[in-house]
Structure formats: C-alpha cells, structure tokens
Amino acid sequence: MQAILGSQTDSFLNSYNEPRTYGLRLNPLKAAALDKILPALTEQFGLQPIPWCATGYYYNEEFRPGKHPYHAAGLYYIQEPSAMTAAELLDPQPGEVILDLAAAPGGKTTQIAGKMHGQGVLVANEIHPARAKILSENVERCGIVNAIVTSAAPDELSRRFPALFDRIMLDAPCSGEGMFRKDEGAIAEWSDSHVAMCAARQSDILEHAAIMLKPGGRLVYSTCTFNRSENEDTIHAFCLAHPEFEVSQIERVWPHESRGEGHFVAVLHKAKPSDVVADACSSHASAAEDGPAERISSSAQTVTAPKLRAREARSNSSRDRGADRGRRSSSGGAGGSSAADMALLHAFCAAALPGGAGLGPGEPLRFGDALYWLPHTNSGSPIRASDLQGLKVARPGLHLGDIRTNRIEPSHSLALAVSAHAAAWVQSYRPDAPEIAAFLRGETLPAQEGSSGWGLIAVDDLPLGWGKASGGQIKNHLPKGLRWFK
C-alpha cells in the first residue's frame, strides 16, 4: 500500500481501527410511498445522505433496519456505502438490455433495476446456486419485474449472448481487502497467492464480458479490494488484449478519505464498428512500458468519491449454436398452453387485481407448474425462451403464480411487484401495528367488512403479501420461509 498511497498509508492503516460504516439504498420502484414515509424514516434510522448515490443513506447500526417491516416490503436495500459507486457509474437507462455478471447477493442488481424503472431486460447472473437463490430472493423482495436470474459460468453466457448487452456490470470476485473491517474471515483468507488467483479469475471473466457487450456499450469493472494486481493491472492487461476498449474513468473510494469500506471502479467503453480505431487504448501506448499506473491514468478521469455525482448486429447464428451446445433439461421443464395459462391469469386479475398487474412487454413462460413473465424490450425479445433452454435459471422473469386445476395461485413475487391500490381489497397498517407483526408471523387476520377472495396486506401502502378473505378471516399466504418468529 505504501507504493499506492505514499504519505497517506498511515491514515489508511489507522482507518481499520475505526468502526465500519452502514448504508441503505431506497428503492425507486417503491417511489409512490417514499414521499410520505421518508421524513419519518430519516428520523427513525438517523439517515444521512451518501454523497455519491442520490438514493443512498448512512444509518446508525443500532437501529437495525433489516428487522423492520419496510425491509420486508422492499422499500430499501441494505448495502455498504462505497459499493454504491459502481452502478452509479454504469448509468443504466430504461429500455436497455443489461447484464450483472457476478450479481449475488443483489446490491448492484437492485440498484440497476431501480434506474431501469421496469423497462428493458436485466439479466442477473451468479454462478454459485446457493448465492443465486439469495439473489433471486432480493430481486423478488424489491419488486423487480424485468429481471432474469441465471446461475451460469461466464463462458456459458458468452456462447449464447454475443454482443447482446448495452451495459455490463462486473463486480468481480476479489480478495476482499475492503471487507477487513466487517469480516474477520476475509483477513484470514487473504494471501499473495489468493490475490494472484483472484486476478487470474477476473481476467478470465472479463474476456467473456467483452464478448457479450455490444459495440458502443459500457462495461463497469469493480472490486472491493485495494491492490493494483486486481485493479489497474487487470484493466491494463485487458485493454492491451482488447484495443476496442477504452478506459474513460477510474474511481477509488478509500476508507481513510470517505465514509465507506472501500471500492475500485473502472469504466470502459467498447468502440463501434464504424469507429476507425487502430488501437482504442493507443493513448496509453507510450506509457505502456512505464507500467499500468501510468497507462491507466493517462486517459482515465479519476474522481474522488465525494465529487462523484449521484446520477455489429447481434449474431443469432452464433447464439443458437451456443444454445445447442449447452442444451440440457431445464429444471422443471416447460409445459402447458400459453393461451390457457394467460386465461387463468386474466381471470385472477379481473377478480383480485382489477387495477392491473402492470406487466410490461414480454411473454408467458412455464417452468413446471410455475408461470413466469419473460421480459422483452419495447422493440422486441432480446432473450427468447429457447435461449434459456439448458441454462440453470433461478428466475426466468417475474413469477406470476402457480397453475392449479382451473385456477392460478398468485406468487409472493407478484404481490411485491404490484401497487397495493391495484388489488380488489387491501388492508394497510402502520409498521408498529399488531396486525403487521401478526401477518409477518404467518397468523390469520380479521377481515374488514366487504373483503372477499384474494387481496393484499400492506405496511403504509407497501404490499407485504397476499391474504385470502373468507368468512370474516384472512388466511395468511406469506411464504413460510419469510415469516418472522418471535
């Protein structure tokens, strides 16, 4: 670190004796409730704005917002503050096709989705199945309607999806030097050989990200570590091997300079075919012999965290060949008639969601008995059902419900994705109401007069889950795995 920080090294090392920082990010997909809730939330949790993320706030550890009903309703995502820089620099736009390549547990995925406002297609990938399950749960809790969650190796994806994505987020697996203050296990795992292994793995993942990014697209590479081997050196080697890529910005958040555990972010752009680029990194050529630090800094704009503002046609034949090579049985398979399935959904919505489910462009997709809505963009279907054949898919879009005999049973995902006021009936309570605690424990609630059939239980108009009213009682349909036991 002495070589990187010089006279600031002691300040950096001393920062490890300071308490870790805590942050949360408000969910723009729940914006309808935010104006009413935010003043009280700010006071209750001691929120203070995070300067580089407009929706980010520091909070005091003792308030434990993860144990609040608002968290269960997806109003916010708990995230380390400096980690919020990467998705801000990715700058996702509604309607785009975006990949979060190493996405678990979901901090950057949910941040990206909040900026897409339900428009476009977001693929969130996590190679480890258990972590992909956690990722899918966070996508569900935040009410994201346009995300596909996969659990695949990068090479599996690059075979299927060459030059598909407008933007790619790669928060690369790393040695975790920025985790030392909050995770003693990260200290125990660290070694020079572990750093070298991480750097090699990062380079391999970047190769596949390069294949999947459209010409003219943006790639954001980030880590929560500080050494150059996994950061500037990795980007330096990547640009030498891929002259169509150019580094436009480097961002480092240091724990001794800002309230955060630390993060590295590099923003790269891929040249369009029409650009006459003999070497997209040619501005660095003369500096290459001097080393990666000089080469990167010669063109990249470095911005300190407090100053960061909160803000070739696709080859179908290659894609199809990749799908054929990787084809195997999908978990659960596909089944049922789309027309019949959608007729059941329409009948359910007419009775239980007269305000509409708010589905954007897409198509129904069956995985076993589960009915999903596979998202499209306004201009078409960048990812087809056939593209998912043979992939491990944790969530092929929004889970609408499960098909039963002559009916559909709505999913918890659908409850968290719709507006409370779209339901045929909604019983909404304050967070401290005993009915909220009872619902989160899985208990039956008394039904208000006139309530019948499916409806929503909400906290301050934020849906928490489905209930089914009959005979003056509401049967609790909160999934058992999400219930609070006190």
Catalytic residue positions? 224
Eight-class DSSP state of 380: B
- Residues 373-389 as b/e (b if ≥16 CB within 10 A, e otherwise) read bbbbbeeeebbbbebbb
Among residues 170, 127, 189, the alpha carbon closest in space to that of 264 is found at: 170
Please give the Cα distance from 468 to 454 (Å, whole number). 4
Residue 419, both tokens: 């507006």
457-to-70, 120, 318 alpha-carbon distances in Å: 13, 29, 47
What is the spatial order of strands in the sheet that 398-404 belongs to? 362-367, 370-375, 398-404, 407-410
Q: Distance between alpha carbon 62 and the CA centroid of its chain, in Å? A: 26
Count the Cβ atoms, other than its own, within 10 Å of residue 442. 16
Are residues 78 and 206 in contact, defined by beta-carbon separation less than 8 angstroms? no
Helix (H, G, I), strand (E, B) or coil at 454: strand
Question: In 305-439, where do the E strands start and end?
Answer: 362-367, 370-375, 393-396, 398-404, 407-410, 426-429
Query: What's 483's DSSP letter?
Result: -
What are residue 99's DSSP bridge partners?
Answer: 123, 168
Q: Give dist(CA 150, CA 114) in Å, integer.
A: 19
Continuous segment of H or E residues that includes residue 287: helix 285-288
**Other C-beta atoms lying within 10 Å of the C-beta of residue 412:** 21
- Residue with the two structure tokens 């999806």: 161
Q: Can you point out the beta strands (E) in 126-278?
A: 147-150, 165-171, 213-223, 245-253, 263-270
Q: Where are the alpha helices (DSSP H) in 47-163?
A: 69-72, 85-90, 107-116, 129-141, 154-160
- Contact predicate 461/74, CB 8 Å: no
Distances in whole angstroms, Cα of residue 73 to Cα of each of 68, 138, 219, 486: 9, 11, 31, 19
